[in-house]
Amino acid sequence: MVRLNKNKLSQKQRDTLFLQLNKMLGKLSIVQTGEFLEALLGPEEQLMLAKRLAIIVMIHEGYSLYKISDSLKVSPATASKIKFYYDQDHYAPILTALKNNKPVYLAIIQSIDSMLTLGGHLPRYGQARIK
């Protein structure tokens, strides 16, 4: 769990720190970025970011909030909150970046599909009802 210090940084200080992080990540290769994020983020933070990205993609692909919550083991409130921001185009830069990198987007979709079907051992979502 993230523990925030009671002593807050000013908006200017936060912007400066974020800009430095952004510049650093922008200069790294794919492998270096993965290593950097693994070293920087704890396991819970890594999982939280991965789930958040999966939720955004699943919402974009039209999955129900129930299916998202159930498959990713997140609360309905978390899925709803991300859906709220999605509806306000808050995640448009993320979706644009993913669409511009089709192989990454397809890999995320494939991972989600594999997770939903337990690696191909279950029927695809919705197909059971069709039969």
User: Considering the chain, what is the average pLDDT of its residues?
Assistant: 85
15-58 pLDDT tens trace: 999 999 999 989 999 899 889 989 999 988 988 998 999 999 99
Whether 119 shows a pLDDT value over 60: the answer reads no
Residue 32 confidence (pLDDT)? 93
Q: Which residues fall within 8 angstroms of residue 86, CB to CB, at 6 or more apart?
A: 56, 59, 60
Q: Which residues fall within 8 angstroms of residue 37, CB to CB, at 6 or more apart?
A: 46
**HSE-CB of 56 using CA atoms within 13 angstroms:** 22
Q: Domain residues of the chain, as ranges?
A: 9-40, 43-130
Find the mean pLDDT for residues 51-78: 93
Cα angle 124, 118, 85 (rounded to 5 degrees) comes to: 70
pLDDT band at 60 (very low <50, low <70, confident <90, very high): very high
